[in-house]
Amino acid sequence: MILRTVQPLDWPTIAAIYQEGIDTGHATMETAAPSPEKMATNYLAAPQIVAEQDGRVAGYALLTAVSGRCVYGGVAEVSLYIGAEFRGQGVGRLLLDELIRQSEQNGLWTLQAGIFPENKASVALHLAAGFRQVGYRERIGKHLGVWRDTLLLERRSDVVGVD
């Protein structure tokens, strides 16, 4: 397994992996992946990481700004998805650890993740990587007509923003 920066030709596979996550019913409120072209513009320019095995993208880790306000310039939301056939093999931990490392190199001091409580594997992964639960958002949005809750997890850097 190698980790590398997302390349333009990766976006169709990234969109397909995102759709696989959507299809689980416990990954996002979205019901359909956007086009690869739209996905390529939805995230921070760096870091953008894919895990590749035998020339195939196994998963990805990207970040989204949580606000356009400058005071939140060091805070981003994690988007981490693993292809169905690669789940349970440690790919998520490799990607999340590298995302944390690169985010700190880019001056980010807080990473956050909103995760459905039913997505126990994702919750456990984030907790193992140093995230902590800071909130429980009850009935935060409807997914396929059903109100859903999310856990709000965050990780504060111990190297960026430390005074």
Segment 90-113, tens digit of pLDDT: 999 999 999 999 999 999 999 999
Question: In the chain, what is the greatest distance between 2 CA atoms, to the nearest angstrom?
Answer: 46
Residue 163: its pLDDT value, please? 67
Q: Which residue has the tokens 């809750």?
A: 149
Each residue's pLDDT tens digit, 115-147: 999 999 999 999 999 999 999 999 999 999 999
Tens of pLDDT, residues 72-82: 899 999 999 99
Q: Mind listing the domains of the chain with CATH numbers?
A: 2-156 (3.40.630.30)
Residue 25 pLDDT exceeds 80 = yes
Q: Work out the average pLDDT over 58-70.
A: 95
pLDDT at residue 162, as a whole number: 67
Mean pLDDT of 145-150: 96
3-class secondary-structure state, position 112: strand
Among 92, 79, 104, residue whose Cα is nearest residue 51:
92
CB 29 within 8 A of CB 143: yes
Classify residue 147 by burial, with Cβ atoms within 10 Å: 0-12, 13-18, 19+. Answer: exposed
* Mean of pLDDT over the chain: 96
